[in-house]
């Protein structure tokens, strides 16, 4: 099925394979490159679930989705997927988030061979007691490496402190203790549950023929057998409105203190709006408040509280959305108070709103010229909203200042958690 992106010279083609797998293609003849991703709707958050065909909930060790990502690169015939892709002139990688795991490649030549190989190696699990034990040491070193990186540690700690029970609080890679308990049986259980084709999708962007992409995937999947019935239930968590821990100070090897602060936003009162619009309005609001051109950032620089920009990050967690801010500052207390006050007052001018809306529209149009960004847009829309909105341009254009004020009025910004990383030799 073809869906045209309004006001853009792009179209989205969607196909459904007999086994339930979805294929999304955005062809672009103006570029030479091709970018292909193969994703499962399975990330670190889904650690308690009813496996396909079963009746009882089971729990698995934290970090198992990320562990699976690592292990699928080990094939029973000993082939190294990275080497295979490299021989075919393609770059390959994989990544795991709280909600999905993605395997990918980009390259111009040998597209059919590369796409077939992508599907084949991801759909050929090979776990043994020996190779699972070997991987534990590798992932343990990765966890320790990220734990020693100040910005990464800051983000993980803030998210952990924001939530009481939701497993989104657990680091994506798990902990050193949790991965030690992972077995090959755990991996096969999770793989057979979440890597069913009906829970997976392919996205291809670039210089391709959509029907040819579909035929490659269709023929590849026809050679494989899967249970025709697929059902999955993941545990829901009754997460509290408050944060689990409001303040924490950590000492690390940094020269200047680093601050991370998260706002836990309850969006239950905004049921008249769809989730996509809520997130877009919140992005507009926080961008107005904390972008490089904002009055807050300008005043913080003038008062020598920060010397650089404020980094931001959004975490979408069911009934809650977390907006995270990070900055390096010699005056962490002053920074936190100024930021909180700026967010809490909730005031934005109509002039700032209209200006930012134009920037958003411009950024969206610019993104459509980038096959990597468009691929990511499709993936994120599928994971977050279950569909791809090809009317995004008109949607953003229709946003109003009055609706922004209504969204902000119906959200409480009081629930915050802050973490400060201080230099090890400081007295604080």
Residues annotated as part of the active site:
69
Q: What phi and psi, each to the nearest 5 degrees, are found at residue 201?
A: -155, 150
Longest dimension (CA), the chain: 66
Sign (positive or negative) of CA dihedral 181, 184, 185, 190 = positive
Alpha-carbon distances, residue 131 vs 7, 69, 138 (angstroms): 51, 14, 11
How many helices (DSSP H) and strands (DSSP E) are in the chain? 15, 15
Is residue 249 within 8 A of residue 426, CB to CB? The reply is no
Chain-centre distance for alpha carbon 328: 24
* Spatial distance between the Cα atoms of 180 and 157, rounded to a whole number of angstroms: 21
Neighbours of 59 (CB within 10 A): 10
Spatial distance between the Cα atoms of 3 and 158, rounded to a whole number of angstroms: 40
Q: Pairing state of beta strands 311-317 and 11-16?
A: unpaired
141: how many CB neighbours lie within 10 A of its CB?
A: 11
Please tell me what DSSP assigns to residue 167: G
Rounded CA gap, 335 and 132, in Å? 45
The CA radius of gyration of the chain, in Å to the nearest whole number, is 23
CA distance 317 to 166: 8
**Dihedral class, residue 148 (left if φ above 0, else alpha if ψ from -120 to 50, else beta):** alpha
The DSSP secondary structure of 214-258, one letter per residue, reads HHHHHHHHHTS---S----EE------SS-S-SEEEEEES-SS-E
User: How many residues would you count in the chain?
Assistant: 428
Cross-sheet strand order for the sheet of 48-50: 58-59, 48-50, 233-234
């Amino acid at each position: 099925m073809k869906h045209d992106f309004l006001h853009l010279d792009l179209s989205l083609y969607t196909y459904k394979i007999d086994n339930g797998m979805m294929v999304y293609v955005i062809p672009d003849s103006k570029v030479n490159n091709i970018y292909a991703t193969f994703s499962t709707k399975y990330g670190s958050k889904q650690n308690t679930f009813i496996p396909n065909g079963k009746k009882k909930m089971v729990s698995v060790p934290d970090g198992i989705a990320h562990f699976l990502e690592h292990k699928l690169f080990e094939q029973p015939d000993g082939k190294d997927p990275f080497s295979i892709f490299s021989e075919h002139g393609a770059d390959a990688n994989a990544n795991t988030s709280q909600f999905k795991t993605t395997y990918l490649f980009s390259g111009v030549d040998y597209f059919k061979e590369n796409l077939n190989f992508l599907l084949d190696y991801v759909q050929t699990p090979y776990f043994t007691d020996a190779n699972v034990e070997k991987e534990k040491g590798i992932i343990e070193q990765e966890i320790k490496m990220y734990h020693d990186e100040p910005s990464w540690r800051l983000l993980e700690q803030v998210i952990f402190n924001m939530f009481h029970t939701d497993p989104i609080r657990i680091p994506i890679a798990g902990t050193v203790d949790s991965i030690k308990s992972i077995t090959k049986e755990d991996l096969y259980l999770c793989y057979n549950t979440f890597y069913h084709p009906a829970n997976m999708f392919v996205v291809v962007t670039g210089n391709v023929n959509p029907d040819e992409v579909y035929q490659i995937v269709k023929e590849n999947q026809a050679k494989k057998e899967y249970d025709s019935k697929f059902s999955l239930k993941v545990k829901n968590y009754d997460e509290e409105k408050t944060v689990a821990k409001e303040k924490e100070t950590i000492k690390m090897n940094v020269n200047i203190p680093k601050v991370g602060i998260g706002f836990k936003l309850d969006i239950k009162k905004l049921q008249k709006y769809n989730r996509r619009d809520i997130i877009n309005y919140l992005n507009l609001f926080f961008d107005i408040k904390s972008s490089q051109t904002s009055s807050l950032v300008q005043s913080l620089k003038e008062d020598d509280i920060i010397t650089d920009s404020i980094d931001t990050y959004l975490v979408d967690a069911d009934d809650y959305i977390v907006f995270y801010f990070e900055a390096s500052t010699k005056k962490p207390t002053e920074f936190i108070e100024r930021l909180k006050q700026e967010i809490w007052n909730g005031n934005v001018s109509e002039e700032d709103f209209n200006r930012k809306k134009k920037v958003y529209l411009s950024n969206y149009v610019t993104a459509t010229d980038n096959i990597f960004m468009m691929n990511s847009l499709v993936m994120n829309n599928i994971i977050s909203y279950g569909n791809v909105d090809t009317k995004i341009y008109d949607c953003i254009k229709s946003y109003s200042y009055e609706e922004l004020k209504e969204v902000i009025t119906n959200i409480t910004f009081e629930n915050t958690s802050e973490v400060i990383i201080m230099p090890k030799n400081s007295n604080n």
